[in-house]
A and B are shown apart, each in its own frame.
Chain A
Amino acid sequence: EDQVTQSPEALRLQEGESSSLNCSYTVSGLRGLFWYRQDPGKGPEFLFTLYSAGEEKEKERLKATLTKKESFLHITAPKPEDSATYLCAVFSGGYQKVTFGTGTKLQVIP
C-alpha cells in the first residue's frame, strides 16, 4: 500500500527565512508525485507533478525536488502570502487512487 509522510507537521518562519518541507513516500512503482497548496477553508490548489528521481520544478519562490525516497519543497525568501498547508501526494497507477499526506502547515510571519 502506498504511504506518504510529511514533516514537519507545522513550520513557522520569519519573512525572508528560507526552509524546506519534506515528503517521504513508499510506493510500488511511482508514476507521479504531486505538491498542492491548501488555504484555510478552501480546496487544494495544484502546484507541481514530479515524475522521476532527479527532477526539479519551480514556481515563484517554490522549488520541488525528487529522489527515490522523498521529495522536498524548498521555499526561498518566503512572504506572508506563502502561508498555507502544503500537501504531498503520490500516484502509482492502477485505478485513480492518489495517496495524500497529512500536510505541513506553514506560517510566515512579517
Chain B
Amino acid sequence: NAGVTQTPKFRILKIGQSMTLQCTQDMNHNYMYWYRQDPGMGLKLIYYSVGAGITDKGEVPNGYNVSRSTTEDFPLRLELAAPSQTSVYFCASGDRGPLYGYTFGSGTRLTVV
C-alpha cells in the first residue's frame, strides 16, 4: 500500500513558468486536499475535492487550479509561477472527511526564482 504519492519531490521554477504537481492515492478515498506549508505558518488549504468531478476552493486558491477526473488522482496546476508560491506543498486524502484524519503525502518542495 503506497498511500499518497506526490511527485516531484523538489522543483525550481522561474517566475512566469507553469507546472503541475502530481498526487495519487491508492486507498479509494473520496476526499482529497492540497495544502501549502510555509515557515512559521500553519498548513493552509488551497483546494479540496469530495469526489471525482467535484472540486472547490480552500483558503488560498489564487494562482492555482485543480481537477479530479478519477478517484485516485488530484493534480495541482500552478500557472504563471510567482515567488510567493515558494513553499512546501502537501497532498492529503481522507475516507470520510476531516474528523477521521488525513493521510498526507511526503510533499513537494517548490522554489520560484
Contacts and interface: CB of A to CB of B under 8 A. Distances in A.
Interface string A25-52: 0000001101000000111111001010
A78 interface: no
A32 B104 contact: no
Contacts of A100: 42-44
B33 A96 contact: yes
Interface in B46-100: 48, 50, 56, 58-59, 90, 92, 97-100
A65 interface: no
Contacts of B106: 41-43
B7 interface: no
A103 B25 CA distance: 26
Contacts, number: 63
B44 to A, nearest CB: 8
Contact of B40 (A32, A51, A95, A102): A102
A99 interface: yes
A97 interface: yes
Nearest to A45: B104
B50 A43 contact: no
A97 B97 CA distance: 10
B27 interface: no
Nearest to B104: A43
B4 interface: yes
A10 interface: no
Q: Which 10 A-B pairs have the closest CB atoms?
A: A43-B104, A46-B101, A100-B42, A100-B43, A91-B98, A32-B99, A96-B48, A98-B98, A44-B104, A43-B90
Interface of A: 4, 31-32, 34, 41-46, 49, 51, 87, 89, 91, 95-103
Interface of B: 4, 31, 33, 40-45, 48, 50, 56, 58-59, 90, 92, 97-107
10 contacts: A32-B99, A41-B106, A46-B101, A95-B48, A95-B58, A96-B31, A96-B50, A96-B98, A102-B42, A103-B42
Given A34-B98, A101-B42, A103-B42, 5 more contacts: A42-B106, A43-B107, A91-B99, A96-B58, A98-B98
